């Protein structure tokens, strides 16, 4: 089923009653499956449209000015994952000061009733809504009785498991434990961006790289180091090695993400690329010379070729 993505509540015009959940759903990981499966199942059983409503920027950026928030998915990545889960509608509503001032009743009347045409909402036991997060699930149940919609509470254990999983994924990636993060995610962590021109020094030592620019500053970048990856280029999977870091051997001091694609020579400048991070090979190192760097890259490449030969069999 094709997912429809909307950039505000005003764009969404439901053709029938909806089943809704609200939240960040960062990572769309294994912990989220039970909630998403339930929404999709009920939507089919009761002939409802399934809706996931999220907000951007993250409410904490607006309410508490927490600029350090890093997310596991860009919105485009999240939409792709939600489509795979079977969600029909993904609404990314701008979160601003004005929206944060809605009272609980205004939120229910204007958002849930008027714009979402809600029949049922599935929400966490700890969910707060309305100005100053003044209302909770007890209030929502009361509104449901008043306005004739159902409220189903996600149990505390399940909500906590989702939260713990997201934290474990972030911590694992920041520690370079990408294979562990992938276990929690249920898929390989992805980095999506545009291939831009770099200094092209890699070509001079036989290791041309695609420099990936990720425009979303909120996207979490794994720990510096060398990784084994698969890249989706022109809808084809290509094996490769990726360096995340500052290229200390070349005297760099700015973060770069560079992918050397194995058995690949096409010009892909300006193209969008998705890099799936499979395994971490080693720390980023400063070598004494270009020659020493080249020798290490040859070792890395030999390992990568053997790894993917076994991985593919």
Taking the CB of residue 212, how many other CB atoms lie within 10 A of it? 23
CA–CA dist 198, 246 (Å, integer):
13
CA–CA dist 212, 193 (Å, integer):
6
% of the chain exceeding 90 in pLDDT: 64
The pLDDT score that the predictor gives to residue 163 is 82
Mean pLDDT of the region 204-233: 89
The pLDDT score that the predictor gives to residue 249 is 67
**pLDDT tens digits along 66-111:** 567 789 999 999 999 999 999 999 999 998 888 888 999 999 999 9
Closest by CA position to 192, among listed 79, 71, 275, 256: 275
SS3 category, 100: helix
Return the CATH class of domain 188-312.
mainly beta
Mean pLDDT of the chain: 90
Q: Which helix (H) or strand (E) holds 308?
A: helix 290-312
Residue 203 has pLDDT above 70, yes or no: no
Domains of the chain by residue range: 4-167, 188-312
CA–CA dist 170, 173 (Å, integer):
5
Strand ranges for 57-114 from DSSP E: 89-94
The pLDDT score that the predictor gives to residue 64 is 62
pLDDT confidence tier of residue 170, bands split at 50, 70 and 90: very high
Mean pLDDT of the region 39-53: 96
% of the chain exceeding 70 in pLDDT: 92
CA–CA dist 313, 305 (Å, integer):
12
The pLDDT score that the predictor gives to residue 287 is 84
Q: Which residue has the higher pLDDT, 162 or 225?
A: 225
Taking the CB of residue 157, how many other CB atoms lie within 10 A of it? 9
pLDDT confidence tier of residue 189, bands split at 50, 70 and 90: very high
**pLDDT tens digits along 55-73:** 887 766 656 665 677 899 9
Most distant CA atoms of the chain, gap in Å: 74
Closest by CA position to 75, among listed 99, 59, 92, 87: 92
15 Cβ contact partners less than 8 Å away, ≥ 6 residues apart: 49
Q: Which residue has the higher pLDDT, 84 or 209?
A: 84
pTM: 0.91
Outline where 148-270 has alpha helix (H): 156-174, 178-185, 201-204
The pLDDT score that the predictor gives to residue 66 is 58
Mean pLDDT of the region 113-121: 97
Tokens representing 82?
């939600």
pLDDT confidence tier of residue 28, bands split at 50, 70 and 90: very high
CA 282 to chain centroid, in Å, comes to 24
The pLDDT score that the predictor gives to residue 67 is 61
Minimum mean pLDDT range among 69-73, 140-144, 187-191, 199-203:
199-203
Residue 205 has pLDDT above 80, yes or no: no
Residue 102 contacts residue 110 (beta carbons within 8 Å):
yes
Minimum mean pLDDT range among 34-48, 50-64, 133-147:
50-64
Query: DSSP string of 139-167?
Result: HHHHHHHHHT-EEEEEPHHHHHHHHHHHH
The pLDDT score that the predictor gives to residue 100 is 84
> What is the DSSP code (8-state) at residue 16?
S
CA–CA dist 33, 39 (Å, integer):
10
Residue 139 contacts residue 20 (beta carbons within 8 Å):
no
CATH number for the domain whose boundaries are 4-167: 3.40.50.620
SS3 category, 63: helix
CA 115 to chain centroid, in Å, comes to 26
């Amino acid at each position: 089923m094709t997912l429809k993505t909307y950039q505000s509540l005003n764009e969404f015009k439901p053709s029938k009653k909806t089943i809704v959940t609200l939240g960040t759903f960062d990572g769309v990981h294994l912990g989220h499956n039970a909630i998403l499966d339930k929404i999709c199942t009920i939507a089919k059983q009761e002939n409802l449209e399934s809706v996931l409503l999220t907000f951007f920027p993250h409410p904490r950026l607006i309410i508490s000015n927490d600029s350090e928030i890093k997310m596991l998915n860009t919105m485009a990545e999240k939409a792709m994952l939600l489509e795979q889960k079977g969600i029909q509608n993904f609404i990314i509503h701008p979160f601003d000061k004005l929206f944060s001032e809605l009272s609980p009743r205004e939120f229910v009347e204007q958002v849930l009733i008027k714009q979402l045409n809600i029949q049922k909402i599935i929400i966490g036991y700890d969910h707060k809504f309305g100005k100053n997060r003044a209302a909770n699930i007890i209030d929502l149940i009361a509104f449901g009785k008043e306005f004739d919609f159902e409220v189903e509470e996600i149990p505390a254990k399940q909500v906590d498991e989702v939260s713990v999983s997201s934290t474990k994924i972030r911590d694992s990636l920041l520690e370079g434990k990408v294979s562990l993060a992938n276990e929690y995610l249920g898929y390989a962590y992805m980095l999506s961006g545009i291939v831009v021109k770099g200094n092209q020094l890699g070509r001079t030592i036989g290791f041309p790289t695609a420099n990936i620019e990720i425009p979303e500053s909120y996207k979490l970048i794994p720990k510096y180091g060398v990784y084994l990856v698969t890249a989706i280029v022109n809808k084809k999977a290509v094996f490769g090695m990726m360096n995340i870091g500052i290229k200390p051997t070349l005297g760099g001091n700015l973060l770069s993400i560079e992918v050397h694609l194995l058995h690949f020579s096409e010009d892909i400048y300006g193209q969008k690329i998705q890099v799936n991070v499979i395994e971490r090979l080693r720390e980023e190192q400063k070598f004494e010379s270009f020659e020493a760097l080249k020798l290490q890259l040859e070792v890395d490449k030999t390992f990568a070729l053997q790894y993917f030969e076994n991985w593919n069999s």
